[in-house]
Amino acid sequence: MSGLFDLVVSVVRVAVMLAFTLSLVPILVWAERKGAAYIQDRRGPNRAKILGLTLGGLFHPLADALKLLFKEDFIPDGAHRLFYQMAPMFALAPALMTFAVIPVGPPVVIAGREVALQVADLNVGILYIFAISGLAVYGVILAGWASNSKYPLLGGLRSSAQMISYEVSLGLSIIGLVMVFRSVRLSEIVASQGTLLWGIVPKWGVFVQPLGFLLFLVAVYAEANRTPFDLPEGESEIVAGFHTEYGSFKFSIFFMAEYIHMVVGSALIATLFFGGWQFPYLADSGFVLPGGAALGLPGPLVLLLRIGAFLGKLLFFAWLFIWVRWTIPRFRYDQVMRLGWKVLLPLSLANIFVTGLVLLLIGGGA
């Protein structure tokens, strides 16, 4: 029985997480298009109708997906056939895989057994994330090279250079956090963010590692190839960058990969720096405010509040990706390189040094 139970739990968890990430994509596409329109004083998509309902253009992403699905699936002359077809998969798979280690809620007890609300509670959580998300750039580079066309190649080269510059800062910006929480297991990092700092503020990563948070935020934007670091695409300079030669469903997979990267990036920021599923001042029994006031809540409600808190944080940071995209212009290539190597890298090293010094002075931090 126990083997069957584990199997069912695993399958259900994978199915729910996959459905969750994939269903966020059309919502984000819609938010991006509609938000961009309103930011630019336009109306945005409002034409696609089902039974006379437009729902503010919510059906446009579905219509786009259907359209792309039914388009001719071509491979350009001179393209490397195998790599050309592999590239979209390489772009999408790592993005989906990274979400596996993100805890969306506290462990729940089902039929007398504890079930973690994450697909895999790996003891190397953060290392796994960096290992897998580092693979995502292969999709871009392969697409750029296999297309046998100059603009995709330029996009791929830019992507690899950007990757090398920002992967370092991304990894180093986390070290300080790992030093404070003394674990690379994501469920433990989230759990230890539930306590209070000086008895007032939640001990979230952003409060103990403000500089680390800023560095991580910038590096995640660069990793997800989003504005202001969307040089691999760079529409105004290199057509559409690495996916210039892609059409039909292969293009839509690149498109999905970009949005899933946003989801995963937002989930990571929420998990590492904003307490993941921790709701401020919410303990297992209910709200406990610093002054001593308490409000008891039933267990299921606490669980729902916590999952809701995670979802809210995720959606906020996903919206921040979109919001930033329609606010600031793209960096020039040399500016990106300068920012990566001459600003972010020294700052992240300094952050580690200062964190270590402080932990040493206050005796281990814990």
Determine if 327 is a binding residue for other proteins (CB under 8 A).
yes
Residue with tokens 């103990």, as numbered in its chain: 208
Q: What binding mask, one character per residue, do residues 30-59 give for other proteins by CB under 8 A, x or -?
A: -----x--xxxxxx----------------
**Could you give the C-alpha distances from 175 to 120, 128, 181, 346, in angstroms and in order?**
22, 14, 10, 14
Closest approach of Cβ 315 to other proteins, in Å?
15
Determine if 287 is a binding residue for other proteins (CB under 8 A).
no
Residue with tokens 């990092």, as numbered in its chain: 189
Residue closer to other proteins by CB (options 287, 316) is 316
Residue closer to other proteins by CB (options 18, 39) is 39
Determine if 326 is a binding residue for other proteins (CB under 8 A).
yes
Residue closer to other proteins by CB (options 207, 323) is 323
Binders of other proteins among residues 209 to 238 (CB under 8 A) are 214
How wide is the angle at C-alpha 279 spanned by C-alphas 277 and 284, nearest 5°? 90
Closest approach of Cβ 320 to other proteins, in Å?
8
Residue closer to other proteins by CB (options 84, 331) is 331
Residue closer to other proteins by CB (options 99, 213) is 213
Tell me which of 249, 251, 281, 323 binds other proteins, using CB under 8 A. 323
Do residues 14 and 119 lie in contact, with contact meaning Cβ atoms separated by under 8 Å?
Answer: yes
Residue closer to other proteins by CB (options 146, 217) is 217
Closest approach of Cβ 150 to other proteins, in Å?
31
Closest approach of Cβ 293 to other proteins, in Å?
34
**Could you give the C-alpha distances from 93 to 230, 279, 304, in angstroms and in order?**
20, 31, 29
Instruction: Provide the strand spans (E) within 189-256.
Output: 196-197, 201-202
Burial 108-140 (b: 16+ CB within 10 A, else e): eeeeeeebbbbbbbbeebbebbbebbeebbbbb
Output the six-digit token pair for 171.
């990894």
Residue closer to other proteins by CB (options 323, 333) is 323
CA-to-CA distance for 130 and 325, rounded, in angstroms?
Answer: 24
Determine if 358 is a binding residue for other proteins (CB under 8 A).
no
Residue with tokens 């999952």, as numbered in its chain: 307
- Which residue in 250, 254, 69, 82 sits closest to 155, CA to CA? 254
Closest approach of Cβ 355 to other proteins, in Å?
20
- Which residue in 162, 176, 214, 209 sits closest to 320, CA to CA? 214
Residue with tokens 């300094």, as numbered in its chain: 350
CA-to-CA distance for 118 and 101, rounded, in angstroms?
Answer: 6
Determine if 334 is a binding residue for other proteins (CB under 8 A).
no
Residues listed for the chain? 366
Closest approach of Cβ 14 to other proteins, in Å?
36
Closest approach of Cβ 265 to other proteins, in Å?
17
Residues that bind other proteins (CB under 8 A): 35, 38-43, 214, 323-324, 326-328
